[in-house]
Every structure is written in C-alpha cells, then in structure tokens.
Chains A and B, each alone.
Chain A
Amino acid sequence: MNRTRVAGALALAATLALSACGGGGASGEGTTTLSIVGYAVPEAANKAIIAEWNKTDEGRGVRFQTSYGASGDQSRAVVAGLKADYVHFSVSSDVTRLVDEGLVDQNWDDGPNKGIVSSSIVVLAVRDGNPKNIQGWDDLVKPGVQIVTPNPASSGAARWNALAAWGHISANGGTDAQAQEYLTKLFANVVSLPNSGRDATTAFLGGTGDVLLAYENETILATQNGEKLDWVIPSTTILIENPGAILKNAGPKAQSFLNFVLSPAGQRQFALKGFRPIVEGIDTKGVEGALDPNNPFPAPQKLLTVSKDFESWSALSKKYFDEKEGIIVKIIAASGKAK
C-alpha cells in the first residue's frame, strides 16, 4: 500500500517535471537563423562582420544566435549538444574535438586558409610609458620583473604565449635544454597565472605585474575600450591562428557566411578590431587603438608558426602541455616549488 503510494507520487511528480521541461525551443519560421559558438575575444569582430554580411544579398535577413565563452568550454558544450552552425575557437584542438565526435567534417582545414579565420601575434604588454623598459624576451627574465600570463596548463589559448617564449630560444639556434632553462627563469618571474586570457588582462589592468604576455588583438581592443597600456612586439614571436568551421548539419547559409568571413570585407572587420588579416591585400588603415593606426600590424623580425616550427597542434600539445609529462607543464609546477 505504502510503497505504491510513494511510487505513484514519484511517477506523478516525474510527469509534472517532464511536461514542464517540454515546449520551448521554437524554431524560426521562414527566416534562417545561424548559431555561432565561439570563444570570447572575437565577439565584437563577429558582430561587425554579421552587420556587414546582413547588408549583402546573400546575408540579408539571416538572423544569428550567438554564444561566447572560454574556447575549450564552448567546444565541449557543442559536443554536449549546444546548437551550432559555425564555430570560431582560439586553438585548432577545439575544432578537432568536434571532428572526433563526427560533428565537423574531417576535411574542414583543407581549404586555402587551412581552417584559419583570424590571426594575431603574441606581444609583451607593459605599463603605460614602459617604465621597466621592456624591449624583448630577454628583459623578462631579469630580476625584479613581474610577469602575468594566463596559465598554459589550464587555458588552451595561453599556450601561444609559452610557445612564443620557447620559440625565442629554439628558433634562434638554442637547444631544448636552453629553452627549458629560459622558461624556468621566465616562470620564476611570473606573479600571477590566471585561468584565461581575459582574466589575465583584468588582473594586469588591475595593477598586477609589470608585463603581460598578451595577444596583439587583445591589447588593441583594450586600448579601444579606453584602457591605458603599451606593448612591445618582440623580435621573435608566434602567429596565433584561430580556426573556424562549419558543422556538418549546418544549412547552406552557414557556408556562405564563412565565405564572407574569409573575404576581404570580412577580414577588414577583423582588422578593425585588432586581428591580423589572414589574406594579403586587406586595407588595414585606420585601426583605432593600434600603436600606429595607419600601420597597425608591423611585421615582427621573426614570425613562427605552428606548422613550420612546432609540427602540429596535437604534437606540441603532447610534448609541452601533457598534464603529467608536458615539458612546460612540468616547468610551471616546478616554479612553485622553487619558492
């Protein structure tokens, strides 16, 4: 008797709960709606690109639903079922995760752009006026220099920073051992290791440290938003390449949106928000917030790329950032023990 009552009550409650969860999720009638899932930084640029695309014949009337957050989290959310037609992440491993799940075509990076939709470089952000006179990587390991960088162990995007520092030694004739030694000194000077690029920028702007390992687009965007900071392009740095991809089950409009993103008009919008265009011949004049708005993206002396200098993203992830065996992960862990 008792049992059945309880069971009945449970069943009733369950149906109530389920029916309450149903409904919603209304689909667009007539108009196309594209879902963009991306990492946080290019939100402003994507917004501008959408506005431009909506002015073209192809893009007229297409509506967008957008979701922005930490790159890895967003990628995992798509795997877990977050609706997406177009994804824009900070590192390619976040797209390959979707490939592994069968959500994105295996040939997503076969095009001339190799799956990359936006790019930037690693720069050394310093306090306004550069009071510590930071000119390059070697200045960072001097005693008394305090560094802020997002943690490469916990943020995929922060790995660009560590790779640039590594490349400063390895691409200039240094051995792995010398690069390790340099990174050990570098991390000994790190005073804050926030979990994401955004948190690192916030901590730096909040007064922490003398140098922030940052991305050029972030520093330009911060300046556009009225923050006071300066930055130095080190002689050796790395090209940050952010991938974008269409999901397998996306509608035809998604591909035409991606085509627009890669077009000069789309890349111009990226440039205006501080990203380096991925194709030649884009008008980059008048980028507000850049060190020189009319020459916003000066070429560094030596620009490393993942494919040229680090084999591939998956290879370097394993070598440097494996949770247990990664060279750089170990250096970071050891940096804590030294003190």
Chain B
Amino acid sequence: MTSATLAPDRPAPRRTVRSGRRLTRASGLGLGVAMLWFSLLVLIPLTAVVVTASDGGWAEFWATVTNQQTLAAIELTVGTAFLVTLINIVMGTTIAWVLVRDDRFVGRRVLEVLIDIPFALPTIVAGLVLLSLYGPDSPLGVNIANTRVAVFFAFLFVTLPFVVRTVQPVLAELDREAEEAAASLGASRFTVFRRIILPSLTPAIAAGAALSFARGVSEYGSLVLLSGNLPMRTEVTSVRILSSIENDNLEGAAAVAAVLLVISFVVIVAVDVIQRRVVRRG
C-alpha cells in the first residue's frame, strides 16, 4: 500500500528505459529468425543427441564411455586436437602476420588464396592426398601412415585456416599509430607486440582456436585413410561413433558424441575465459 502512495511522486525514468528496450518491428523479426534458425540447426539437434544418449540409462552410458577402446579414442582425439590448436595459435598468427604486414613477400597473394583450400577440399579427397604424399609410396620419403602422427597431421591440415582467417582482418584494421607511439616512447619490439598488438588480437586468436579445436575433435574424412583406425592406437572418436552406429547402437554413439560435446563446450568456455584475462592484463 505504501508503494501505491509513493508511486505518483516517483519520476519516470524507468519507463523511458523500457521503451528504449522495446523491439522495433525489424529487430523483432530479426530476433525471431535468429532464434528459429539457431533452434533448428543447433539447439534441437544437440538436445536430441543428449536425449538419445540418455535413452540407455546411466549405467549403460557410463559403460559405453568408459570402455577402454573408447577412452583411448577420446584421449587421442582430444589430446591431438589440443596440441594442434596450440600450434595453430602460433602458426596461424604468424601466417596472418605475413599476409597483412609483410609487404616484401611476393608470394603473399598466392598464399592468400591457397590458405582456404583445406576448407574447400572435401575431406576424403584431403585424406587421399595426404595418403599419397605421406603414405608408404611417399614421393617425399615421409611415411607416417597408420601412426598417431597421421592423425596429428590430418588435424593440422583441416584446421589451418581458422586462426589465420580470424586474426587477419583484425590485424589489418589495427591502428599502427599506437605501435609507433609506444616505439617512440622507447618500448622494445617485443614489448610493443605483447602490450599493444597481442591484446587486440587475443579475441580473434581465441575465436580461431576454439573453432580449430572443435573442428579437430570432430574430424573424420581426412584421416580415415591415413590413420589406419587401429584400436587403442590410431582410432579417433568419430570412428568409434561410426562403429556404434553400424552396430545399431544409437545410444552408444550418442553417448560418445555427448562426451565430445561436453569436452568441446568446456574447452570453448575455457578459451573465452583465458582470452578475457589476457585482454584485461594487456
């Protein structure tokens, strides 16, 4: 009751705030389309995976994901994706740097075009190419077929463009005046890079790293010919999932997929947290 008596006296800034938040027709439609799109393509399928995974019950789920062969596959897949992501962070940023900053480099244009090839190539074709180049008949004398190195190599191949393509535009837009000012104030090149450039690039690097990790974890086509799919040694998780599907064990397949989803989710969140820290400290 007291509030009722007080109400008329109160100024009405909240109203204006609220009306400012009200959706216009266009933004309402935009939000609607975005939500629908996101639901159809991401939320509903992901929910379906988790629901299917739980169909067999907790005991069944646990037995599936703790199966020795499955665990070995998850370990190999996640470990390799992690390592590959670290390398991509360094190499991808370097390549982006060369593409944007190195004016003397003549092959820049060519590299610029070639960098996206791993995206464009159907992965099974990539697998064939890798097999003929780094398999037993390698013209380069490098044979990594049916070893864990093959998995590592295939991951590297398909994830190369991510960091490059996320970092490149940010680097191109970077204001060079700040760098010049820092340099004129006596900062070393390393300090300029660490204090000025890196903080601006970090969100882009993080985004690229997250994509690269997620792509690696789910890779199948490019490594399936070269890795040999040997249980406990070179078998990746996607192959395990396929095995379960072939045995009409959809719950098992979904269980392993759900574990991958959780791991990817955790990694992507972790990457975001680290990224924010780095930006703040810069």
On A, residues with C-beta under 8 Å from B are 1-2, 5-6, 8-10, 12-14, 17, 72, 76, 97, 151, 153-156, 190-195, 199, 202-203, 206-208, 321-324, 332-333, 335-337, 339
Contact = CB atoms under 8 A, between A and B. Distances in A.
A1 B68 contact: no
B169 interface: no
Contact of B22 (A1, A14, A97, A151): A1
A206 B132 contact: yes
B246 A72 contact: yes
A193 B246 contact: no
A9 B28 CA distance: 6
Interface stretch (B2-10, B175-183, B247-255, B274-282): B247-255
B69 interface: yes
The 4 A-B pairs with the shortest beta carbon distances in the complex, nearest first, are: A9-B32, A336-B232, A207-B137, A207-B136
Contacts of B242: 154, 195
B117 interface: no
Contact of A5 (B23, B136, B228): B23
Interface string B114-150: 0000000000000010011001110000000110000
A5 B233 CA distance: 55
Nearest to B220: A195
B128 A154 contact: no
A297 B158 CA distance: 44
B225 A190 contact: no
Contacts of A336: 69, 72, 230-233, 235
Contacts of A17: 36, 40
Contacts of A5: 23, 25, 28
Given A10-B36, A191-B228, 17 more contacts: A2-B22, A2-B23, A5-B25, A6-B23, A6-B35, A9-B32, A10-B32, A13-B29, A13-B32, A72-B245, A153-B243, A154-B239, A195-B229, A207-B145, A335-B230, A336-B72, A337-B68
Interface of B: 22-23, 25, 28-33, 35-36, 40, 67-69, 72, 128, 131-132, 135-137, 145-146, 224-225, 228-233, 235, 239, 242-249, 252
A12 B32 contact: yes
Interface of A is mostly: helix
A202 B229 CA distance: 14
A78 B244 CA distance: 19
Contacts of B248: 97
A239 to B, nearest CB: 22
Contacts of A12: 29, 32
A2 B137 CA distance: 65
B31 A9 contact: yes
Nearest to B33: A13
Given A2-B22, A202-B128, A323 B243 contact: yes
B231 A203 contact: no
A323 B32 CA distance: 44
Contacts of A321: 247
A332 B232 CA distance: 10
B146 A191 contact: yes
A10 B35 contact: yes
B246 A6 contact: no
B232 A337 contact: yes
A144 to B, nearest CB: 14
20 contacts: A2-B23, A5-B28, A6-B32, A9-B30, A72-B245, A97-B248, A153-B247, A154-B229, A154-B242, A155-B246, A193-B235, A203-B131, A206-B225, A323-B244, A324-B67, A332-B231, A335-B231, A336-B69, A336-B230, A336-B231
A154 B128 CA distance: 20
A193 to B, nearest CB: 5
Contact of A339 (B69, B229, B233): B233
A324 to B, nearest CB: 8
Nearest to A154: B243
A206 B247 contact: no
A6 B28 contact: yes
A110 B123 CA distance: 43
